[in-house]
């Protein structure tokens, strides 16, 4: 036996009931949507905060990196400048006292000879560039200065002995007699001489020392 359900309520009542059900359904859907919206907003806020923190950290690291790079660039510039200054100083620096050089020259003078003038010309150290464009870029120009000695001796043989003694000095190069001439010294005939040489600064370090200062032969 089948049963049929009949709604005997007036049409107006049925309409109000139906509308009430629809409103409750809409309210429920709106509540669910609101909850979902709140959850989504909360998750978005958390992610936004994390993204802002990451962004701030990245910006701080970038600023730190830029500061380090700037300091590194300044340090490299300072090192280049100091390197240039050191190279220029090394170029013009004479690695020994001139008094030691004079003492070494006087030591080589024969007993019959006297020294009147010793001149060192270091202009080439300043005028010559550190590297020559006509040479290999990795080879430095030899550090040498020109020198000249004037004096007098009893004979040409004494002058030759003096020149030979200077040539045996490891730091002297191209020792040569520029001129000799007759000269009277207190009524005694003598030979005035002028000797030129080059001083090799690379092999003159440590400084040349005379025999009496080193306790041995400095040649």
What pLDDT, in 10s, does the model give residues 80-117?
Answer: 877 776 665 555 566 566 777 788 888 888 888 888 88
Q: H/E element holding 108?
A: helix 98-108
Q: H/E element holding 28?
A: helix 11-92
What pLDDT, in 10s, does the model give residues 33-79?
Answer: 888 888 888 888 888 888 888 888 888 888 888 888 888 888 888 88
What pLDDT, in 10s, does the model give residues 135-168?
Answer: 444 445 567 788 899 998 988 899 999 999 999 8
More confident residue, 214 or 38: 38
Asked if 135 and 129 touch (Cβ cutoff 8 Å), the reply is no
Average pLDDT over residues 183-210: 75
Handedness of CA 64, 70, 76, 79 (dihedral sign): negative
* Residue 112, C-beta contacts closer than 8 angstroms, at least 6 positions apart: 153, 154, 155, 158
pLDDT at residue 2, as a whole number? 59
C-alpha distances in Å from residue 209, one per residue of 85, 146, 151, 155: 29, 19, 21, 27
């Amino acid at each position: 036996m089948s049963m049929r359900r009949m709604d005997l309520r007036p049409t107006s009542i049925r309409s109000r009931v139906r509308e009430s059900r629809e409103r409750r359904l809409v309210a429920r859907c709106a509540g669910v949507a609101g909850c979902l919206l709140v959850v989504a907003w909360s998750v978005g806020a958390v992610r936004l905060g994390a993204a802002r923190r990451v962004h701030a950290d990245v910006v701080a690291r970038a600023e730190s990196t830029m500061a380090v790079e700037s300091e590194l660039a300044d340090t490299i510039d300072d090192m280049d400048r100091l390197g240039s200054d050191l190279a220029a100083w090394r170029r013009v620096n004479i690695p020994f006292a001139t008094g030691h050089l004079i003492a070494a020259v006087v030591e080589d003078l024969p007993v019959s000879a006297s020294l009147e003038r010793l001149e060192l010309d270091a202009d080439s150290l300043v005028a010559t560039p550190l590297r020559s464009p006509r040479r290999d870029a990795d080879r430095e120009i030899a550090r040498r200065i020109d020198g000249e000695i004037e004096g007098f001796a009893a004979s040409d043989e004494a002058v030759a002995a003096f020149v030979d003694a200077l040539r045996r000095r490891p730091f002297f190069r191209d020792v040569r007699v520029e001129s000799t001439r007759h000269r009277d010294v207190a009524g005694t005939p003598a030979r005035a001489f002028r000797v030129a040489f080059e001083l090799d600064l690379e092999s003159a370090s440590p400084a040349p020392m005379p025999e009496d200062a080193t306790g041995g032969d400095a040649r």
